[in-house]
Amino acid sequence: MKEIQDSSSIRIKLASPEQILAWSYGEVKKPETINYRSLRPERDGLFCERIFGTTKAWECWCGKFKSNRYKGVVCDRCGVEVTDTKVRRERIGHITLAAPVAHIWFYRSTPSIMSYLLDIKRSELMEILSYEKYVVTDPGQDTDLRKYQVLDEDEYYTAVDKYGDTFKAGMGAEAIYDLLKDLDLESLSAELREQLSQKEEANNKIDSKLLSRIRYCEEFLSSGNKPEWMILKVIPVIPPDLRPMVQLDGGRFATTDLNELYRRVINRNNRLDRLIKIQAPDIIIRNEKRMLQEAVDSLFDNSKTPNPTKGSSKRDLKSLSDVLKGKQGRFRQNLLGKRVDYSGRSVIVVGPELRMHQCGVPSKMALELFKPFIMRKLEQKEIAQNVKRAKMLVEQEAPEVWGVLDEVVKEHPVMLNRAPTLHRLGIQAFEPVLVEGKALKLHPLVCHAFNADFDGDQMAIHVPLTHAAQLECWTLMLSTTNLLDPANGKPIAYPSQDMVLGIFYLTKERTDLDPDRKIKRFETVAEIEAAIDTYSVSYNEKIYYRFKKGLEIVDEKGNSQVSDGKSWYATTPGRIIFNAAIPEGIPYQNYCLGDKQLRKVIGATIRNSKPSVAVQLLDSVKDLGFKYATLFGATIGLSDMVVPAEKAELIEEANEKQSVVFKQYHDGQITQEERYNRVIEVWTETNEELTDKLMDELKRSQHGFNPLYLMVESGARGSKNQIRQLGGMRGLMAKPNGKIIELPIKSNFKEGLSIMEFFISSNGARKGLTDTALKTAKAGYLTRKLVDVAQDVVVSEEDCHTINGIWVSAVKDGDAVVETLASRIAGSCPVEDVLHPFLKDADGRPVVLAKANEEISDDVAAAIEESGVEKVLLRTVLTCEAEHGVCRKCYGRNLATNRPVEIGEAVGIIAAQSIGQPGTQLTMRTFHVGGTASTSTKENKLSFSYQTVIRGLKGLIIHNNQGQRLFPRKGHITISRIFEEITGEFDELLVQNGDAVGKGYPFYRKNGHDVAAKENGRLLQIPDIAGSSMRTFVAGPEAEYQVPAGSELMVSEGQVVAEGDAIIT
């Protein structure tokens, strides 16, 4: 037999009866397991030593031979071979069946391979195998029966009366065995192909059933399996040590379910054998054969049988298939998911004093994890003379061991993993730092990658042993080299919660101070710190500061200016302290920094600076954030939750509006559905108005430093929706099915809920909790399925030289840009040169913005968007023509490194993880927060805050008696934004109607001077209302809007609409 290491691949085949007998070491004839007195296996039973090997190493059953010098000797008295006990994990036995049985995988599963090969319905096949119907195996000469015809009891006896014994029909696995044995697969395959081509010609359709039958025929022919092997005459008995029996404390035995299933098969087989020998009535034998079939079905796959076999505790027994399949099965639990040495597990706590690349490992844990390394070092330093002595020193925790441990730990990375590992950043490497206690310490900024928090989460720690593994940890897996999310290229290490709040507080400016006061001026950080220490200036006060020459100063809008070293700039002491703490080379951020702004700064630093600078920035931000969150001492009490004074008035108004709606309903003016929708609308509008007033009041509260407001405004914690529930009203709630309950909760949490309101709100709250419980499993399963599909997609070559691509443009929702063109094309390669719409070079050819098959950088992408190009033909993995996997040019940039992807990168796995990791949100889309309903009060009215032109109307438009133009069904309106209009007289147009116009480039001449466009767009000329002259505009791209049924149209095609005017109502 070949060694398993010699194999390059494995193929699962059907075992023929001869093959099973060749593997077997003997037949199991009795259902007994062990003798209750001697506790030794029974002869010919399920644990028989003669078949499976001895239970005592190098000793036979009767004790005649007792030594390994008799190795291989078979005892002449008991028949047991003298060998090691490990053979009981390898040797298999067999049971010779008194009647053939069908293998459940091949007849009951969908698709049923037996039914496809024989062209018998699956339901009929199961009736034949359960001895309810007959199947014709040989129709004979002069009968109107056909082979494979299924007959019930009456039809069979009618045929017997009519034709006698000129035909043959049978039931059970014997009949199916005969039919399968008679199959000539080659001629059947040819015949099926002929039928397929005839059907295709006749119907112009492909018969999927015929295709499947051909596929199974071809697979049987190519694999060397024979169809009749799906019927079993001999079944193997797996080695006894793989289905053990153990004695419990009370003298009772616990056994594996498989032993019970084998016992049932043997009992039924022996009974059938006996009945056949005594020539029992046919009906009894048939029933016993059916019971044997059921017993073998339960042994192979108990979960597929209609009535699963249950044990004494009324639990379904675990069959051979159940042992293999699923998360707890042999493959996923034991072969792929082995437990490993040099690993540990502990609760995680925050380590704010750690650097980004460090993690805290408890000393006791490190001592055990690094034991072999410590022992080697003890020998090298001659503290211990041999391994035994070194081991003893480590176990005794001798003082010298701790010094050695410190040395070992310094140069040795460890890996931390948090389950569930949904993407590759769920396991990262760190440099260990020894800490007291028993908890692992984790750097707060890596929590996001692990999706970890400190409410009792546990993490596993692993030690890489080989030099190659350690090198990979230092270079590829270290937390400081994984700052970007592979899914989208955005920073995954960024401050949150306390840190954001601390920095937001530090950099916020007070606006309530006397504007006429004298504003202080400072020239150094030391001066500012001294002034703060003496309380002569606060962190948030406006001051003037003179920056050193050449320093770039950036405001919130991204506008920058460079200091000349002489001018005074308005800023705050807090911002000076913040910018002094971050690394040099990063521009001075002269604005209030919340969550979004910090992420933007971190993203820009990672892109434009060395990784070490970005790590330094992250650690500085973390330290500053924690420090000033502590100094600020933010806390929230009841008094911070402000309830707007207008609340009672607003609710009264809403109640009146609701009464009007109810009256209209009772008078029959509106339907039940309209009443429901209007009530929902009334309360939604009221809630939104109340929330706006609440937020305004919070903003003014405590001079703009209300902690509750700061937390939401900075993005540290909470949302507007949650604030609304604390100080406004909880509003409308949703039922678990998503339907909104029209009875609103008028109270907020500060005022307290009534019993009725509490019960209404419990609906959504309960759903929220159950959703969270189901989320993780669904997300994990989705990731598994995605990985299964995409795992073969690897970057295999440099360039596939395809000429195909996909047109990519900005993603828009109506007129609003959701995702810019620049962000969509950056990092990809265009199929052809991207040309400037109107700029020409010296030779008169269009200026090339990006060359074909070269990566578009961020700057080039911005230039393409700026030029007014609306769409770009990009190479993508969907159009890649690489023979295996994808090529580098079609894939483009690796988002995790911001560099072109390397050959060999498993991009399929990255893609699967990128969808699977936020899959929790994808699989469980909950449209409400804590049960509060989310609706919008958008009316049918459509208007814009800028001038537009109507480019087209789609859909049926009718005129009613009042002279209104209405859309009876849904329609569409196409509009373009007008950027500017040429007014007054002008000399000439420099571009044609419909041509592209570039921002900053001339497009018409007036009084002998060229006039440049203010925005990118296209020249548009339309007649004025009188139709006597043309109006000329620079207009944006067309955007289509859906018009709800019943809307009134207020404009005509080609009309110019002023800002704020209604287009539909």
Q: What is the DSSP letter of 508?
A: P
Q: What percent of the chain stands above pLDDT 70?
A: 97
Selected from 1.10.132.30, 3.40.109.10, 1.10.10.10, 3.30.1330.120, the CATH number assigned to the domain covering 638-729 reads 1.10.132.30
Distance in angstroms (rounded) separating the CA atoms of residues 402 and 997: 73
Flag whether pLDDT at 854 surpasses 70: yes
Residue with tokens 């006597």: 1028
Sign of torsion over alpha carbons 450, 480, 898, 801:
negative
DSSP category for residue 227: G
Compute the average pLDDT of residues 801-815. 86
Of the candidates 626, 625, 559, 623, the one whose C-alpha atom is nearest the C-alpha of residue 591 is 559
Instruction: Give dist(CA 263, CA 118) in Å, integer.
Output: 33
**pLDDT digit string (tens) for 1006-1031?**
887 888 888 888 888 887 766 667 78
pTM, two decimals, is: 0.78
Helix residue ranges, H only, 245-361: 257-277, 282-301, 320-324
Comparing 82-96, 448-462, 643-657, 803-817, the range with the smallest average pLDDT is 803-817
Could you give the CA distance from residue 413 to residue 462 in angstroms, rounded to a whole number? 9
β-strand 560-562 against 552-554: which pairing, if any?
antiparallel
pLDDT of 503 strictly over 70: yes
Query: Which tokens in the block code for residue 145?
Result: 């029966």
pLDDT for the residue 814: 66
Residue 703 pLDDT class (50, 70, 90 cuts):
confident
Residue 1055 confidence class, pLDDT cut points 50, 70, 90: confident
Tens of pLDDT, residue by residue over 421-453, are 888 999 999 999 999 999 999 999 999 999 999
Q: Which two tokens stand for residue 904?
A: 């060999």
| Residue recorded with tokens 């699956």 | 122
Q: What is the pLDDT of residues 885-912, one digit of tens each?
A: 999 999 999 999 889 999 999 999 999 9
> Which of the four pLDDT bands, split at 50, 70 and 90, describes residue 937?
very low
pLDDT over 70 (residue 207) = yes
Range of lowest pLDDT (163-177, 360-374, 574-588, 811-825)? 811-825
Question: Is residue 273 classed exposed, middle or buried when 0-12, 13-18 and 19+ CB atoms within 10 A define those classes?
Answer: middle
Sequence ranges of the domains in the chain = 96-133+171-335, 339-370+412-481, 498-632, 638-729, 794-905, 942-1064
512-521: Cβ within 8 A, 24+ apart? 512/703, 512/704, 513/541, 513/542, 519/543, 519/544, 519/570, 520/544, 521/545, 521/546, 521/568
- Residue 766 DSSP code: H
Residue 1026 confidence (pLDDT): 63
Region 230-242: mean pLDDT is: 96
Q: Which fold has domain 498-632?
A: Enzyme I; Chain A, domain 2 (1.10.274)
pLDDT 10s digits, 137-176: 999 888 889 999 999 999 999 999 999 889 999 999 999 9
Structure tokens at 917: 């990791």
Distance CA 47, CA 120 (A): 41
Of 44-53, 306-315, 872-881, where does mean pLDDT reach its minimum?
306-315
Residue 924 pLDDT: 47
Query: Which positions ≥6 away from 81 have C-beta within 8 Å?
Result: 53, 54, 60, 72, 73, 74, 75
Number of Cβ within a 10 Å radius of residue 159: 22
Place of tokens 């009534």: 754
Report the amino acid identity of residue 47.
F
pLDDT at 354 over 90: yes
- Does the pLDDT of residue 786 top 80, yes or no? yes
Look at the domain 339-370+412-481 and name its fold. Answer: Barwin-like endoglucanases (2.40.40)
Q: What is the pLDDT of residues 383-405, one digit of tens each?
A: 888 889 989 998 898 889 999 99
DSSP string, 174-211: HHHHHHHHH--HHHHHHHHHHHHHHHHHHHS---HHHH
More confident residue, 485 or 1034: 485
Mean of per-residue pLDDT scores for the chain? 88
Q: Which tops the pLDDT comparison, 867 or 262?
A: 262
Q: Sign of dihedral through CA atoms 170, 176, 178, 184?
A: positive
The Cα 727–Cα 638 span in angstroms is: 10
What mean pLDDT do residues 471-499 have? Answer: 93
Q: What pLDDT, on the 0 to 100 scale, is given for residue 1050?
A: 82
Distances (CA, A) of 452 to 378, 425, 457, 559, 573: 37, 12, 7, 37, 34
